[in-house]
Amino acid sequence: MSSISDQLAMGLRYHKAGDFAAAQIAYRAVIHDDPRNSQALYYLGVLASQSGNKLAAVELIGAAIEIDPSKGIYYYNLGEALQVLGRLDEAVAAYQLALQRDPLDAEAQNNLGRAHQTLGNLDEAIACFRRTLEIRPNDVDALNNLGGALQTKGDFESAILLYENAIELRPDYVEVHCNLGSALKADGQAEAARTCYAQALLLQPQSIDALSGLIVQQQELCSWQDHDSLSLQVIQLVEKARQQGMQHRMTPLSYLSLPTPTTPSQQLDFARNFFENRFGNQTRFNFNARRGSQSDSVNRIRIGYLSGDLQTHPVGLSICELLENHDRERFEIFAYSFGKDDGSRTRQRIVHSCDRFVELGQESYGDSAKRIHEDEINILIDLMGYTHNARTEIVAARPAPIQIQFLGFPGTMGAPCIDYMIADRFVVPMDQSANYSEQIIRLPGCFFPRVSQRSVSALATRSDHGLPELAMVFCSFNNSNKITPTMFGLWMRILREVPNAVLWLYVQNDYAAFHLKEEAVSYGVDSNRLVFARRLPDLNDHLARYRLADLFLDTFPYNAHSTAADSLSMGCPVLTLAGQSFASRVAGSLLSDVGCDELVTTSLKEYESKGIEMARNATELARLRTNLLQYHSNKLFCRSQQYAREIEEAFSVAWARYLQGQEPAPIFVCAP
């Protein structure tokens, strides 16, 4: 009969050889003879963790720690299991106990940093990664993690240097190549970012992260080599990954922006998978909805708006008048901001329009969720969805009984923590409702809030902007990354049919202008017929530019949104193509709302024909411009107070359903 030490040694041999079943038998034999053998319990826990049973791992390693709390490695592996389960506060505590026992444990230090980073504790995470590098200066994972934390804080220069150091140590590390590309993109180095993603793809041709990053950069540069085939490839890889349960870092915003249109059903599958993989385990601050609390019985419904864009940003500009027009006798308005204070008039208006304006700053996700919960917010409005720098971790914690997504993200979030989405009858047709995880609030008019209080610079001349005075001026002031090869080819065909026309485009970088000129020549169009607009520091100067154009040509499948609203408010008609997805129907909703349904097309052929027809009919263009300006001057375009009442009606219905114990359901708001 073998001794306990022999059984334990046998189990370890099986374990190291990968024979988990035999190892488990040996470890359990030890526990049978010695129920308080901490080593056997610990190794069983490690086996469970390696087999994917993290709950069993926590239980077994926890039992080992109760018997022998002296070993740092026990706490380290307990922390790993807790981290995978999303129990991050407990994981932090476990790693800290591991480090108390072994301060030079670089793995525990690095994982502690990762846990802090996921919690939103960036300063603590950075300190942990720096300590890891003090212990192991060439730790590639720590270099990568520190780069990510500094990038999140906006220190792109330091992040780039760290990623470059990591690549020098490990040139085949695909994730770091992608992260370097992301940091370079954020730092405005678009071409260098494209090169990073291309290198990552060479290293791992099936990498969704590398492929999606490359597509995004090609879109930003308007450099479209194999663009459609790459787009189809990433759609196929994403579906394969979803079916096989494989994770990746492509975002829903990148997915719905692909040049090859994805269907609402595909977007729902993607969003659900994204939320589950990224936020599904984050239940540590999942506050139970409370009925009958003090805030339920007060007269005013407490509304919280959550965003990092409450400044001179399309969301901040669009939401400002809604906040100012809320009925303060019925609603108490909170705003939770985690974006910069740009000192603008828009920022000041937003601050003054709220009963309470709360700066979240770099507060952790958990602390922010706790704050919102303790403020007893009845309805929380997420104004960002999955857009850049969103803090979805906060809404994933369910700090409010009712949570609604609105305005920032043009699609479903696929998130069980989001109850409603504000839309309208055009942008989400009834037959598409099943492709949204949210219940749809349908406003009677366009869901997109418009701005009435605007100053516009004095009208410049066309020659001031390099435009021919007598030409037909098409414009498209969408970000150039919305331009697809298909739509640009269509625009070139329009230009060939309208010889006196020019196309005025907004571009974000010189590379985009260069490539678009090359593309124009390939279609037989003189590149001088493309005129490029750049970002102007004064929004009022930018708005004045719309008055110099004759017709705005919209992009597809990602329409103009705030840009279309700006164009229409300045009297410039918009020609759009409406598809199935939310992102491809916003401009159509805006046009329908102002009585310009004839400018909403449903096929590429119709769009092209309509563009040529409008260019040849100066009288019709003049009529549309006059009607739009008259519509705007009569404040029919904005109808800010009526819009606020419609939104409030939806809030009231949603809150009443909640108080009555009813599940969220579609809400149809009728015009007053």
SS (H, E, C) 191-222: HHHHHHHHHHHHHCCCCHHHHHHHHHHHHHHC
Tell me what pLDDT residue 330 has. 97
- Each as own residue / partner, the long-range contacts of residues 297-302 (CB below 8 Å, 24 or more positions apart, any chain) are 299/329, 299/330, 300/328, 300/329, 300/330, 300/331, 300/332, 301/330, 301/331, 301/332, 301/378, 301/379, 301/651, 301/652, 301/655, 302/331, 302/332, 302/334, 302/375, 302/376, 302/377, 302/378, 302/379
CB 129 within 8 A of CB 145: yes
Rounded to an integer, the average pLDDT of 293-307 is 77
Query: Helix (H) and strand (E) counts for the chain?
Result: 29, 14
Asked whether the predicted pLDDT for residue 590 surpasses 80, the reply is yes
Question: What is the rounded (10 degree) CA torsion for 24, 29, 34, 39?
Answer: -30
Tell me what pLDDT residue 296 has. 53
d(CA 252, CA 260): 14
Is 286 or 353 the better-scoring residue by pLDDT? 353
How many alpha carbons lie under 13 Å from residue 373 in its C-beta half-sphere? Answer: 18
Q: What is the DSSP letter of 547?
A: G
**Domains along the chain?**
294-443 (3.40.50.11380), 462-633 (3.40.50.2000)
Rounded to an integer, the average pLDDT of 563-569 is 95
pLDDT tens across 4-48, in order? Answer: 888 899 999 999 999 999 999 999 999 999 999 999 999 999 999
Asked whether the predicted pLDDT for residue 419 surpasses 60, the reply is yes
Tell me what pLDDT residue 2 has. 63
Closest CA to 115 of 156, 145, 75: 145
Tell me what pLDDT residue 631 has. 85
DSSP bridge pairs for 303: 333, 379
Question: What is the rounded (10 degree) CA torsion for 579, 581, 582, 584?
Answer: -40
Average pLDDT, whole number, for the chain?
A: 94
Rounded to an integer, the average pLDDT of 196-203 is 98
Residue with tokens 């309509």: 610
Asked whether the predicted pLDDT for residue 293 surpasses 60, the reply is no
Residue 195 structure tokens: 């090169």
Tell me what pLDDT residue 652 has. 98
Residue 524 structure tokens: 């037989």
Q: How many CB atoms sit inside 10 A of residue 43's CB?
A: 24
pLDDT tens across 38-66, in order? Answer: 999 999 999 999 999 999 999 999 999 99
| Phi–psi pair at 657, nearest 5 degrees | -60, -45
Residue 589 structure tokens: 């909703």
pLDDT tens across 635-668, in order? Answer: 655 588 999 999 999 999 999 999 999 999 999 9
Q: Would you mind telling me the total number of residues written for the chain in this entry?
A: 672
d(CA 138, CA 4): 40
> Residues 6 or more apart from 593 whose CB is under 8 A from it?
445, 446
Sign (positive or negative) of CA dihedral 552, 553, 557, 558: negative
pLDDT tens across 602-629, in order? Answer: 999 999 999 999 999 999 999 999 999 9
Question: Rg of the chain over CA atoms, in angstroms?
Answer: 28
Tell me what pLDDT residue 289 has. 45
Asked whether the predicted pLDDT for residue 297 surpasses 60, the reply is no
The angle at the Cα of 619, spanning 618 to 624, to the nearest 5 degrees, equals 95
Q: Taking the chain, what is the end-to-end CA distance rounded to the nearest angstrom?
A: 87
Q: How many CB atoms sit inside 10 A of residue 10's CB?
A: 18
Task: Record the pTM.
Answer: 0.94
d(CA 595, CA 103): 69
d(CA 569, CA 59): 62
Rounded to an integer, the average pLDDT of 564-569 is 95
Asked whether the predicted pLDDT for residue 286 surpasses 70, the reply is no
d(CA 494, CA 250): 34
What is the biggest distance separating any 2 CA atoms in the chain, rounded to whole angstroms?
A: 102
Tell me what pLDDT residue 640 has. 87
Closest CA to 583 of 254, 112, 207, 177: 254
Question: Which percentage of the chain shows pLDDT scores above 70?
Answer: 96
CB 306 within 8 A of CB 277: no
Residue 511 structure tokens: 């590379």
Q: What is the DSSP letter of 459?
A: P
Rounded to an integer, the average pLDDT of 325-349 is 96
Using CB atoms within 10 Å of the CB of residue 381, give its burial: 0 to 12 exposed, 13 to 18 middle, 19+ buried: buried
Residue 620 structure tokens: 């019709």
